[in-house]
Amino acid sequence: MNSFHNILLLFVLYFMTLSCEKEFTPVTTYDGPQVVVEGYIYNGPNALPPFVILTKSIEYTSNVSLDILNDIFIHDAQVTVFDGTNSVQLPELCVSDLQFLPVFLQNAISQAIGLPTLDSIDFDICVYTDIFGLLGFGINIEEGKTYDLEIITDDFGTITATTTLPSLVPLDSLKYNNHPSYPDNDSLVELEAYFTDPIGPNYYRSFTQRNDEQMYPAYTRGTVGSVSDDNIFEGQSFSFGLLRGSGPFDDLDIDTYGYFWRGDTVIVRTASLDYEHFRFWQTLEYNSGAQGPFGTYTRIESNIKGGLGIWGGITYDDYTITIPE
């Protein structure tokens, strides 16, 4: 009888709980749009010229459409990069501007500033970039120098940021190893990089490119992000496994994730960042990976004063390895 009463009580409590449920609407802290900056200055082989993408933030509950995407770009801003001696103003360049140029020039410019092919774009992407840098001139880019960014807009006032191009820390060597289940799985391999960390604080980011695919951020084995500091390997020489980078919308195949195929030609890019740039990616990637009902929100750190986003310096080098069949 006691068991029956206990079960009955559980059913009563269950239906009372159902009757009390209400639709949950998250409280928004959105007070209107802010400037979102995504800007980089590169130092390395075939480096892109400095560029800045300016958009407006939107409320996270918004329904994203092509009209909204076209409306989020901030136009007619005055964007200036100062290297401590000289300053260069970055003119605005949009996809629609390129449509009037010869096809070979369209492709050259779109590739130089990292845009996809024009026929794959459904809305008008706009960037502020160093046009003279596309021609091999422009602002002087050197390791160890600091670069100030100033953005003046009609609607959002003045936004500023500063970044530094740190000295490059190269790889010692790069090799491939058989898949852990070789010879049962003899078509896949993993990459291993050898590296010596110099004394002093250093911050790194890794990328890989497989054959003609795009270059994507790559995790090192045992980590949860593409960036790392040297707190646990200060001044040491060691090796680490490098996982194949993939796009955010690629299908996940757990059997091949992170591995490369025999016959692949792979470019590994190792980059050095300053601390603020490192913290931006560290907090962003941690926040992106902490989703789900039990996830913990992490505030994404930014070096932008007067807005959101990042103005980041990247010193890098590329290493190519061809994996035999």
| Parent domain of 68 | 35-164
Alpha helices in 124-180 (DSSP H): 131-134
Q: How far apart are CA 239 and CA 192, in angstroms?
A: 7
Where b means 16+ CB within 10 Å and e means fewer, 18-44 reads eeeeeeeeeeeeeeeebbbbbbbbbbb
Query: 98 in a domain, yes or no?
Result: yes
Residue 250 pLDDT grade (very low, low, confident, very high; cuts 50, 70, 90): confident
Domain boundary among 101, 129, 164: 164
Give the CA diameter of the chain.
89
Where b means 16+ CB within 10 Å and e means fewer, 250-262 reads eeeeeeeebbbee
Per residue in 151-178, pLDDT (tens digit) is 999 999 999 999 999 999 999 999 999 9
Q: How far apart are CA 149 and CA 252, in angstroms?
A: 38
Structure tokens at 59: 């409320």
Answer yes or no: do 196 and 226 share one domain. Answer: yes
Answer yes or no: do 222 and 99 share one domain. Answer: no
Query: 19 in a domain, yes or no?
Result: no
In the predicted model, what is the mean pLDDT of residues 187-194? 96
Answer yes or no: do 194 and 216 share one domain. Answer: yes
How many structural domains compose the chain? 2
Name the residue with tokens 């270059």.
215
Q: How far apart are CA 319 and CA 218, in angstroms?
A: 14
Q: What pLDDT score does 25 carry? A: 53
Residue 65 pLDDT grade (very low, low, confident, very high; cuts 50, 70, 90): low
Domain boundary among 141, 164, 187: 164
Q: What pLDDT score does 49 carry? A: 87
Q: How far apart are CA 197 and CA 113, in angstroms?
A: 31
pTM given for the model:
0.83
| In the predicted structure, residue 95 carries a pLDDT above the cut 60 | yes
Answer yes or no: do 148 and 195 share one domain. Answer: no
Q: CA torsion angle for 238, 244, 249, 250 (degrees, to 10)?
A: -150
Per residue in 12-51, pLDDT (tens digit) is 444 444 445 455 455 556 678 899 999 999 999 988 889 9
Answer yes or no: do 184 and 262 share one domain. Answer: yes
| Lowest mean pLDDT across 74-83, 85-94, 132-141 | 132-141
Cβ neighbours around 312 below 10 Å, total: 26
| In the predicted structure, residue 198 carries a pLDDT above the cut 50 | yes
Answer yes or no: do 189 and 295 share one domain. Answer: yes
Q: How far apart are CA 92 and CA 73, in angstroms?
A: 11
Mean model confidence pLDDT for the chain: 84
Q: How far is CA 58 from CA 77, 270, 280, in A?
A: 19, 33, 20
Percentage of residues of the chain with pLDDT beyond 70: 78
Q: Which of 196, 236, 212, 217 is nearest to 314 (CA)?
A: 217
Per the model's pLDDT, the better-predicted residue between 5 and 144 turns out to be 144
Q: Which of 39, 281, 54 is nearest to 139 (CA)?
A: 39
Domain boundary among 147, 164, 181: 164
Decide: 188 and 210 in contact? Cβ < 8 Å: no
